[in-house]
Amino acid sequence: MNNLRKKVLMMTMAAATLSAIAQQPVDYVNPIIGTNGMGHTFPGACTPFGWVQLSPDTDTIPHNVNGAYQKNAYEYCAGYQYRDKTIVGFSHTHLSGTGHSDLGDILLMPAVGDVKLNPGRADYPEEGYRSRFDHATEKAVPGYYEVILDDYGIKAQLTATQRTGIHKYTFPKGKDGHLILDLVHGIYNYDGKVLWANLRVENDTLLTGYRITNGWARTNYTYFAISLSQPIKDYGYKDKEKVLYNGFWRRFKLEKNFPEITGRKIVAYFNFDTANNSELVVKVALSAVSTEGAIKNLHAEASGKSFEQLAEAARTDWNSELKHFEIEGTPDQKAMFYTSLYHTMINPSVYMDVDGSYRGLDHNIHRAEGFTNYTIFSLWDTYRAEHPFLNLVKPGRNADMVESMIKHEQQSVHGMLPIWSLMGNENWCMSGYHAVSVLADAITKGVFSNVDEALAAMVSTSTVPYYEGIADYMKLGYIPLDKSGTAASSTLEYAYDDWTIYQTALKAGNKEIAETYRKRALNYRTIYDTSIGFARPRYSDGSFKKEFDVLQTYGEGFIEGNSWNFSFHVPHDVFGMIDLMGGEGTFVQKLDELFSMHLPEKYYEHNEDITEECLVGGYVHGNEPSHHVPYLYAWTSQPWKSQYWLREILNKMYKNDINGLGGNDDCGQMSAWYLFSVMGFYPVCPGTDQYVLGAPYLPYLKMTLPNGKTLEIKAPGVSDKKRYVQSLKLNGKVYDKMYITHEDLLKGGVLEFKMGASPNKRRGLSPEDKPYSLTNGINQ
């Protein structure tokens, strides 16, 4: 156990001891999980699905500088690495668990002594305004973060509302403090990221302003309103890159006590009489619409309330979301469970003002009528389990997310649903058009009802000819490798996506569209090479790629995965896939080999998303394409093997530790996988109403469903040893199917698993016990 890990565990245990009397779900959450290494989570304060994630940034490194890629930039997607020894400051927006970075908007840092207007470097913190800190002084719980800034002796406490970050700084006695507002700072802070920034000192306790950045979000408008509990004594700023022309403004002494500041690289400071009043509370409200919107948000959410009231409200908000689950387990299991739940509710995030105004994809200001607008849709990841999870636990939120996606499509000049929506921008990250899956799943599960509107958006999205090979795909049935580097994986992804459109067309009663997309859903067949039993990219002339390595991640026509993993990506027609792989025997053999092989490092050494830590054999859990694969045994005569491998993955990939996530959390997808798998079932094919059964991880779990009913999942005696399902009863009746439906779950009741140390090899074998498959074989 390394020192860092020891500290975290001690903190958790201390917390557990203190509140043993009335331990609430919120008390189990450990936001530090995943903050070191690959998890890309952040420790700061936020509210469920809130716009603001107010968190310390320990460094910010641009991904590339003048075209040169900087390797460790990847580690700063959330602005924080636990191993770091300094804090640059506290910024208001953070992505949770992504594999690409942006945001870190509106950084504040308190300080005493000389005013420094640059952050300084990690190894030379005294160069700038950053400060050293010790994790021993750090406390991170849902909605609250605190730390001592050692260089200044300042105690920093953070909390948040949906749209407001609240800072409380306690300055050392007798010293005059200042506050740095760095409008240059950003995660992914390449030179030139800030297109324009503006700051107004409205009065001595109110600042407003905005900045426009060109980052992963191509044009990101962040307006703010900052209220201060103490009047500013005096203030000033530095413009680190003066614009060529600043007109007749030059007649003013702009640098000192001039209330209006505009430019590309503005860092401002504000001095306070903290010698007499050591506490400074700063409330920072955001808006993507206007400073007027930010002020509205500030007033609606944070004005007139003390820091302590707001921190308590954030804690209560989190607890009300988390307490839908009651579980039995070890402290580590509880920490992991509730932290996972916490991580499923950070992104997607609300993206509209309290009055419903929001900035759309077309940069126009829209009014959300009858729904809440969301952004941060990491759909290549989250269509798999995050959105299905929300359909189960937060259907109202997911319905609004679906509506937000449809509005995105309507505002898109391409007529496309989001691929990766980021602060009202499309960043086109990753492949497929998986928003269609989210829409179909929400419709299938009765969460979203405007089927015609959804279908129109889905059809439009899936027929944009210039998007990643769609024109060829529609003509040839596959994307040729000579046209796209991800030809094979995208073909597989489109085929599944098209199946969700087929399902939706059936719901809409539109037979013509249904038939079109039923055929498209079978396109996965076009790139299966039955001679090897794997997916294999083809060229435009129809020939398969000649030199071909099914284990290689690079250059073989797949994105972030090799053919071995990706070939299983036919969640909507598993029987068809089994046939193409050579029948059940070969199929099970391939699955077995996947989980037990040794994958040499050369196959993933250049992929930042794949490390030894996230591998189980050749199965890559740290990246998403295989997340459903452990469940595929359900379609075979050896479903018990899922039960074995799932527990292996759960144990290896999820730990109550700074390094506790076996890969980027990816906006809740890794966590949602965990939660489903802990419950004992998983949505292998979103768009069906089926969850495929694995095995429960904990002896007891009770979920309060959105309709008020409860679902209990009992697995007495379950353990690493007793991991196999012997039998299952649903509300007292023996249940032998390998899936359970959403409809059944919503009825509530009890799922009672009998667990054992050896598999029951006779369960779930008959055809009617098997989960959904579009066909029963390739000849259908």
* Strands in 669-736 per DSSP E: 681-682, 690-693, 700-704, 710-714, 724-730, 733-734
Is 255 near its own copies (CB under 8 A)? no
Could you say which residues in the range 356-395 bind its own copies, by CB under 8 A? 362-365
Q: Toward its own copies, which CB reaches closer, 368 or 574?
A: 368
70 lies in the binding site for its own copies (CB under 8 A): no
Comparison of 192 and 600: residue with beta carbon closer to its own copies: 192
Nearest to 643 by CA among 729, 744, 721: 721
The reply to whether 198 sits near its own copies by the rule CB under 8 A is: yes
Contact segment (CB under 8 A) with its own copies among 59-67, 113-121, 632-640, 749-757 equals: 59-67
Which one of residues 42, 210, 433, 681 is an interface residue with its own copies (CB under 8 A)?
Answer: 210
Can residue 427 be called a binding residue for its own copies (CB under 8 A)? yes
- The 460-479 site mask, x for binding its own copies (CB under 8 A), equals ------x-x-----------
Contact region for its own copies (CB under 8 A) — 1-9, 56-64, 507-515, 723-731?
A: 56-64
Cis peptide before 172 (omega within 30 of 0): no
Report the C-alpha gap between 163 and 516 in whole angstroms. 44
Is residue 64 part of the contact set for its own copies (CB under 8 A)?
yes
Nearest residue (CB) to its own copies, 186 versus 388: 186
Give the residue from 418, 433, 435 showing the smallest Cα distance to 375. 418
Query: Which residue's CB is nearer to its own copies, number 253 or number 606?
Result: 253
According to the binding rule CB under 8 A, does residue 249 interact with its own copies? yes
202 lies in the site for its own copies, by CB under 8 A: yes
Angstrom distance (rounded) from CA 107 to CA 126: 18
Tokens of 493: 């992804």
Residue 47 or 291: the one with the smaller Cβ distance to its own copies is 291
Spatial separation of the C-alpha atoms in residues 129 and 108, rounded to whole Å: 10
Query: Of 126, 260, 601, 612, which lies in the binding site for its own copies, with binding defined by CB under 8 A?
Result: 260
Retrieve residue 744's tokens: 């059944």
Q: Which span (121-129, 201-209, 370-378, 578-586) binds its own copies, by CB under 8 A?
A: 201-209
- Give yes or no for a cis peptide into 348 (omega within 30° of 0): yes
Say whether residue 290 binds its own copies (CB under 8 A).
yes
Shortest Å, Cβ 100 to its own copies: 8
| Min dist. Cβ of residue 639 to its own copies (A) | 39
Task: Determine which residue in the list 5, 139, 258, 552 makes contact with its own copies, applying CB under 8 A.
Answer: 258
Pairing mode, strands 107-112 and 374-375: unpaired
* Residue 248 binds its own copies, judged by CB under 8 A: yes
Return the residues of window 166-195 that contact its own copies according to CB under 8 A: 188, 190-193, 195
DSSP 156: E
Confirm or reject binding of residue 554 to its own copies (CB under 8 A). no
Q: With beta carbons less than 8 A apart as the criterion, state whether 720 and 647 touch.
A: yes
Residue 134, CA distances (Å) to 54, 139, 242, 623, 708 in order? 19, 11, 37, 32, 44
Q: 63 vs 627, which CB is nearer to its own copies?
A: 63
- What does residue 224 show for φ and ψ, rounded to 5 degrees? -145, 160
Burial of 68 (0-12, 13-18, 19+ CB in 10 A): exposed
What's the rounded Cα separation, in Å, for the pair 745 and 701? 14
Give the nearest distance from C-beta 226 to its own copies in angstroms. 14
Q: Is 535 helix (H, G, I), strand (E, B) or coil?
A: strand
Among 252, 330, 511, 761, binds its own copies (CB under 8 A): 252
Question: CB of 622: closest distance to its own copies in angstroms?
Answer: 21
Q: Which region among 119-127, 147-155, 286-294, 575-583 touches its own copies (by CB under 8 A)?
A: 286-294
Give the length of the chain: 780
Find the shortest distance in angstroms from Cβ 223 to its own copies: 9
CB of 252 to its own copies, least distance (A): 7
Cα 368–chain centre separation: 23
> Six-digit token pair at 494?
């489109």
* Whole-number Å distance between alpha carbons of 722 and 696: 11
d(CA 638, CA 636): 5
Nearest partner of 742 among 692, 704, 669, judged by Cα: 692
Q: Which two tokens stand for residue 240?
A: 């680190």
- Selected from 117, 153, 196, 279, the binder of its own copies by CB under 8 A is 196
d(CA 780, CA 768): 18
- Name the minimum Å distance from CB 243 to its own copies: 6
80-103: burial string, b at 16+ Cβ within 10 Å, e else: bbbebebbbbbbbbbbbbbbbbbb
Report the phi/psi class of residue 562: left, alpha or beta, with left for phi > 0 and alpha for psi in -120 to 50. beta
Q: Does 429 bind its own copies (CB under 8 A)?
A: yes
Q: Closer to its own copies at the Cβ: 211 or 394?
A: 211
**Span of 149-157, 214-222, 726-734, 747-755 interacting with its own copies by CB under 8 A:** 214-222
Q: Which span sits near its own copies by CB under 8 A: 60-68, 310-318, 348-356, 682-690?
A: 60-68
Query: How far is 73 from 98, CA to CA, in rounded Å?
Result: 12
Structure tokens at 288: 């993507």
Output the CA torsion sign for 379, 381, 384, 387.
Answer: negative
DSSP 8-state assignment for residue 478: S
Q: How many CB atoms lie within 10 A of CB 192?
A: 12
251 binds its own copies (CB under 8 A): yes
Give the interface size with its own copies as a residue count (CB under 8 A): 54
Taking the least distance from each CB to its own copies, the nearer of 24 and 214 is 214
| 300 versus 365: smaller Cβ distance to its own copies | 365
**Binding of residue 216 to its own copies (CB under 8 A):** yes
CB nearer its own copies, residue 560 or residue 579 = 560
What is the binding site for its own copies (CB under 8 A)?
62-66, 188, 190-193, 195-196, 198, 200-202, 208, 210, 212, 214-216, 218-219, 243-249, 251-253, 257-260, 262, 290-292, 362-365, 413-414, 420, 427-429, 466, 468
